[in-house]
A and B are shown apart, each in its own frame.
Chain A
Amino acid sequence: MSKRQLAMVMDLNKCIGCQTCTVACKTQWTNRNGREYMYWNNVETYPGDGYPKKWMELGGGFDAAGDLQPGIIPNIEADYGVPWDYNYESLAEQNLLSDKPEPGFRPDQSPTWGPNWDEDQGDGNFPMDNYFFYLPRICNHCSNPGCLSACPRDAIFKREEDGVVLVDLDRCQGYRYCIAGCPYKKIYFNPKISKSEKCILCFPRIEQGLPPACAQSCVGRIRFVGFLDDEESQVYKLVHKYKVALPLRPDYGTQPNVYYVPPVDTPPKFDENGKIIEGSDRIPMEELEKLFGPAVHDAIKTIKAEREKRKKTGESELMDILIAYQHQDMFRLDHNYYVEVAKKKGMKPLPLVDERYVAGKHTKPSSISHFKVHA
């Protein structure tokens, strides 16, 4: 167990599937050298096969007795999909003035699969009861990581100071048991360097006062970031105080630290005559239960009750949090804490680059004396 745990909450009611987070992550960390196919952050349409294809059926995680389960390693072509590119060069070379110009923009290989391949397909019959929602996924930085347990080389570790799960690339020899062991398939094999790589929760940013790139760039403002032991953080309030943020597939036994506010309001279904069926919900409760466990019932109840309260009294802390007025409130980072950790280890602490989100319980307002955004 790490001393503290950094966590993220994602409010599924607000994700619009714009993939801004995906792009922010991809351009920052995984755009080259064997990482081309990797999406440390991906947003998939649920229900759907997801990314990698049918990840929920590929095993890994723990059984009820706590034993690690065998898993399957996805295939790059079939299950992740090799990222394709376009024939920019031939486009430049071709003679557009000729009588029969070549059809211009072509992918350099036939696409087989990709992140959000089944975009917006969803389930149910249109227009009676069709539905879908977006499910953004990153590594959950689990408290009991399946990837870590599966590694026979001790190459994966959970950072003492904030519970970020990382791969030691010096020790990793590319055995890939971690990929079989992670039930979320959120650890990837880099075939060029023959080592495993995964989401690092943007720890180099966090340490310097910046939220993870996916969270900061999120257009829907669905992502909250903070430490779970920091009672002032909205993450703490959503997860522990109101219990409306739930881990994904808790039945896998890895104790994830990314939490989701389940989709609450879905339109009602229509009957054969096109009439609204009162009190009906398009998203079947069984689906939500499968994803978030039985606690989803209470979470939805709480949110609905708080919304009623807000309507009647104009007041609800939970609603205020979920509206996500300001990034400053949504992200509660702790620069001073990292400074202390670095000092203890005899390392030079990294300078703060942005103080707007630094308010964690170890950081007194007075300890920030400068505010510089790098030019």
Chain B
Amino acid sequence: MKRVVTIAAALSLAASFSIAGNVVTAVKVKSLKHLKCGSKLIRKYAKFQKVVVYPQTTVHLNDKKANELNKDAKAKVVEVAAFTDGKNVAIVTRWPDKTKDVYKGYKSDIYPDGFAVQFASDASKPEKLPYIGMGSDGRPVAIYLRKAYGQGVYEPNGNGDVAHQVNEHNTNNFGKNLKKFKKEVKKLGVRPYQKAFVSEGFRSMTEIKDDSANYRTDMHYVKKYHKWGGMVVRPIKDAYAKPAKNEFAVAIAVWDGKELQRDGLKRLSSWIAVKLPGAKNKALEKVVSERVGGDVKKGKELAMTNCASCHRWKGAEMAPMYMAPDLSNIGGQATAAYIKESIVDPNAVVVPGYNRNSHPNFAWYTVDDKGHRTSAMPPFNYLKPQEINDLVAYMQTLKAEVEK
């Protein structure tokens, strides 16, 4: 009997390995210049790899309606592929979304669908990858964001076109001239909603506005399959991210407008290794797909006695809210190396993922004069290596169910 169980467990591990292998091989093409979502090139040559994106539950944000809608959010399977032309790299992704929600420009309480691709700025030390999605102190990420828009988004603050900041009723235009004026305004507004950011942790995310980020995005909805396709093209090497030994670490985030998602309310993958032609190293690949073979049952006991008084996760809800990051999806989003690091050295990455003013009674970190954060969590480095392994193995099981 015992044997059967072990085999079954091994099988299920293998199954989850293949789905969340998180390794994508870039296909070499001549040029990416004309690559668009839905291009023939993608249909014909892309090697899509299945990747799971999990709900971001680290912190609870204060939108009542959105929280109700996202309470039992499930994980989604997305597909990721990559291309390179030797100078640029393209990350292509497809994800299911039953409703097409686009930015309409006159609503306050709805949100468009969107996606983002994050590049770890430095992937040379795979055990020390940045905090997933947002980067962390000294471990920056470059983020490319794209949102679905329905009509022109006129951003007068963006391009400083003051002359057109005037309401149509405030212009001297009349009749035909007014029509012309409106057309002009509309023309200025028709542009994709895409942005690039650098980030070293929550709340540090800063938009790159000086044209130093050379990138391009595209997004389109295929009604027949109820799927979005999205694409980010950027240089293989620039000031914000470069490959290490022909490998990138990227992560995918998708937002579902129907669930009022934006910001932290999203689904996020773990780190994915993107291998450019010539990549031979296995280190990054190993880190992003590592499944720790510990004793999950023992790990659970250890977690209940050591972690559950501050952290919450599904099935362990006794800790007060906001005391510490919620671990409900940590197994889906963090690498084993990151979980291990956080257990033995909580100060290595301190997630300032919530506003200390919102819940002043729960300072999960302190900040010194220089802005350096110290975690309120003590290091659990006195645990035996095997215990840490068991703990990590259990943490890796903490993740939302995948949507069918």
Contacts and interface: CB of A to CB of B under 8 A. Distances in A.
Interface string B193-236: 10100000011011101000000000000000000000000000
Contacts of B305: none
Interface stretch (B104-112, B125-133, B241-249, B327-335): B104-112
A72 interface: yes
A117 interface: no
Interface in A291-344: none
A150 B63 CA distance: 9
B121 to A, nearest CB: 20
Given A73-B109, A76-B106, A154 B358 contact: no
Contacts of A192: 105, 153-156
B62 A69 contact: yes
Contact of A33 (B67, B109, B165, B359): B165
Contacts of B281: none
A144 B357 contact: yes
B186 to A, nearest CB: 12
B157 A193 contact: yes
B111 to A, nearest CB: 9
Contacts of B105: 191-192
Contact of B355 (A31, A32, A150): A150
Chain B CB within 10 Å, residue with most, of A59, A152, A174: A152
Contact of B63 (A70, A80, A188): A70
Interface stretch (B27-35, B88-96, B167-175, B310-318): B167-175
B156 A65 contact: no
A272 interface: no
Nearest to A150: B62
Interface string A170-204: 11011111011100000011011111000000000
Contact of B359 (A67, A148, A154, A188): A67
A131 to B, nearest CB: 32
Contacts of A151: 355
B3 interface: no
A92 to B, nearest CB: 8
A32 B157 contact: no
B271 interface: no
B151 to A, nearest CB: 11
A89 B176 CA distance: 11
A262 interface: no
A60 interface: yes
Contacts of B165: 32-33
B263 A152 contact: yes
Contacts of B158: 193
Contacts of A175: 262-263
A152 B355 contact: yes
Given A76-B107, A180-B63, A191-B105, A153 B167 contact: no
Interface string A73-115: 1111000101001000100000000000000000000000000
B233 to A, nearest CB: 22
Contacts of A75: 107-109
Q: Interface extent on A, as a size class?
A: 35 or more
Interface string A110-148: 000000000000000000000000000000000010001
Contacts of B358: 67-68, 149-150, 181
A284 interface: no
B205 A153 contact: yes
A33 to B, nearest CB: 5
Contact of B263 (A33, A67, A177): A177
B106 A191 contact: yes
A71 B107 CA distance: 17
A358 B264 CA distance: 46
A285 interface: no
B216 to A, nearest CB: 20
A152 B353 CA distance: 8
B322 interface: yes
B155 A72 contact: no
Given A89-B175, A144-B357, A72 B64 contact: yes
Interface string A39-76: 00000000000000000000110000111111111111
Contacts of A189: 108
A343 B283 CA distance: 55
Nearest to B356: A149
A72 B62 CA distance: 9
A169 interface: yes
A60 B358 CA distance: 11
A99 B101 CA distance: 48
Contacts of B385: none
Contacts of B321: 67
B203 A152 contact: yes
B175 A153 contact: no
Interface in A12-38: 31-33, 36
A173 B262 CA distance: 10
Contact of A170 (B174, B178, B207, B264): B207
Interface of B: 59, 61-65, 67, 103-109, 153-158, 165-167, 169-170, 174-175, 178, 193, 195, 202-203, 205-207, 209, 262-264, 321-322, 353-355, 357-361
Interface of A: 31-33, 36, 59-60, 65-76, 80, 82, 85, 89, 144, 148-154, 169-171, 173-177, 179-181, 188-189, 191-195
What are the 6 tightest A-B residue pairs by CB atom distance, in nearest-first order?
A: A32-B167, A68-B358, A149-B357, A70-B64, A149-B358, A175-B263
Given A68-B358, A169-B157, 8 more contacts: A32-B166, A33-B167, A72-B64, A149-B355, A150-B61, A152-B59, A152-B353, A170-B209
30 contacts: A32-B166, A32-B170, A33-B165, A60-B62, A67-B359, A68-B355, A70-B63, A71-B62, A73-B63, A73-B65, A75-B107, A148-B357, A151-B355, A152-B59, A152-B355, A154-B203, A171-B206, A175-B262, A175-B263, A176-B108, A176-B109, A177-B61, A179-B108, A181-B358, A191-B104, A191-B105, A191-B106, A193-B154, A193-B157, A194-B103
